[in-house]
Structure 1
């Protein structure tokens, strides 16, 4: 069970004594009994709060630009990665913004860099105290998101999607519920972070749904209203080591299905979830293998993607695939599947691979027929 921080814990961690304690325990491992005992000798009764903070800071490094921040476990889990929060804040540059569920300040910190004015609020006193540490100089107030305390601002919200029983999936079960949030702020521009898999049909008030991925993993969706919305659907692809790009439903989608080209392209998950595979294909001169399957094909892959050059393809049967892989001396195999009910890990074990070479096999269907493509993967320069 996650440690429950108190206001006293936060006050201690922000003090000079607390900062010294954190520095003294920074290399300790909270899972080792000897290190826990060492922390108790150094810190005394606040040892648990210090060790939890040490552990959360380590975990946060892969997600946030926040080395000296304070967190709760739940708040860190729900916080947007800094790159994603930075992208969302960029769409609000120069505006007056109120983050009505600011929590420990992951979005607030990025908004403060670009917004004309920004204010944060939350009901949780402990998280607000942490936000004061994490976002110095940003005005903060304790307030219920469903009881407006600002006027004339864009409203940013990140409703809680977990409780003691686990993840909540229905918009009405979020805290605050999405429908009530939209009703309370009717007439004001909204930017609301939600789960990527949320059903668009349940969100008639959202003018734009944006799916965002980071380094190949779909991280979240954001609902935009009013003048903030610039397309009905948008996919944004962010990378830590390269350029970002976006594709929208306003772009052409006049691609059909045809014979395989030289390459297969598996579009980023944000593109697939946003229903923009055809739009992405049209932008890059690609077409589909099958109109109901998200794989694209063409003779020249887009820049900056991992694409799969087709070596050989034909009807899929496990026996014939095993023979194909043996003939090509494939010992290490990546298996990609769309449109077929197959478990890649179970199939890999049954194939009994052996050989010095590696490859990717793409398993899908064209019409009703299962097919396999033996490919070599390549990272295309940006």
Structure 2
């Protein structure tokens, strides 16, 4: 949960005295080994103000890997956890370019900052007075007001929302009716408005039949979010999209692309599509785009004679029917002492299996365990960056 900031804390942190205190505490290591001593130093220096200052310094350090402008920002722990990574926020903001936009759950302003760079005009609102005060510090050039997302205070704007998905104790909420605000109520209130709603990537899309387009976004190999687009923000003719961002480059694929994809035995390479592609249900579309095929029509692993450029793919060494006895023999024969285990379609825990294999040898490999029809299959591979 982290420290519970108050409005008075935020006022102090924004004051000259608070800024000086943050600078002083930021000079402390605050590592696991030194934290108790450093917190004691901060307490002696700052008295009752030590807790919000120490927490802010720690949150800023955590935010460096997620946000471009964490230095000087104010956060709460849970707000930072839910904040959109800057790269993803900028990607999503592009659909609002040149428009008036209202972020109705602006929190500390991570999405608002990205919108402010491209939109004609921005408005942010939230019900939490502490987060609003932090947003005013973090995005000072944008108007931020206190308002309920379910009681619109703007007109003729596109709307974006990121409903809270944790309760007051920090536990994650999985049911859309428990989001704050609830997903269906949000969609009903803005039924006549161009709306974008950020959600966790694991959401069941069937709960949002009102979404005209669902986009899954991954960043550097991790699926970060699903965005539900409606009306003029959605892409005509597209209901599902996967966007894959790596560093400064990105690519996208949609269900408007062809999905002609054969099913065949393993070829020279095994390809494990990006999680956004899998989650968006676009494995066949991705295969068709790159001249690949499926091993089984219900399994997301693909194969081909040439992998797409710029991915981590797996060069096939050999494949056979899978049994634990057979894989032990194969790995022993090849002298495999370090093994990556990838599994789809079989009830196998990689960590449990690895312990039982008792690996020994100088070489390393990847084994793909899956099924083709009802038959369990093992594909021994060497991972390579294409």
Q: Classify the secondary structure of the residue corresponding to 1:97.
A: strand
Deviation for aligned residue 1:30: 7.8
Q: Which residue of 1 aligns with 2:74?
A: 70
Q: Classify the secondary structure of the residue corresponding to 1:167.
A: coil
Which runs of 5 or more structure 1 residues have no equivalent in the other structure? none
Please say if 1:52 is aligned against 2:55.
yes
Q: Which residue of 2 aligns with 1:205?
A: 210
Q: Is the 8 A contact 1:30 1:52 kept in 2?
A: no
Q: Is the 8 A contact 1:211 1:274 kept in 2?
A: yes
Please say if 1:119 is aligned against 2:120.
no
Deviation for aligned residue 1:259: 2.0
Q: Classify the secondary structure of the residue corresponding to 2:117.
A: helix
**Aligned residue among 267, 270, 275 for 2:276:** 270
Distance 1:44 1:132 in 2: 26
Deviation for aligned residue 1:179: 0.7
Which runs of 5 or more structure 2 residues have no equivalent in the other structure? none
- Please show how residues 7-22 of structure 1 align to structure 2 within 5 Å: 7-22=7-22
Q: Is the 8 A contact 1:30 1:51 kept in 2?
A: no
Paired residues, number:
379
Q: Which residue of 2 aligns with 1:196?
A: 201
Q: Is the 8 A contact 1:101 1:121 kept in 2?
A: yes
Q: Classify the secondary structure of the residue corresponding to 1:375.
A: strand
**Aligned residue among 109, 112, 121 for 1:105:** 109
Q: Which residue of 1 aligns with 2:256?
A: 250
Deviation for aligned residue 1:377: 0.5
- Please show how residues 277-288 of structure 1 align to structure 2 within 5 Å: 277-288=283-294
Q: TM-score under structure 1 normalisation?
A: 0.97
Distance 2:121 2:56 in 1: 30
Deviation for aligned residue 1:260: 1.4
- Please show how residues 105-254 of structure 1 align to structure 2 within 5 Å: 105-164=109-168, 166-230=171-235, 231-240=238-247, 242-254=248-260
RMSD, aligned CA: 1.1
- Please show how residues 332-343 of structure 1 align to structure 2 within 5 Å: 332-343=338-349
Q: TM-score under structure 2 normalisation?
A: 0.96
Runs of 4+ deviating beyond 4 Å: none
Distance 1:324 1:28 in 2: 49
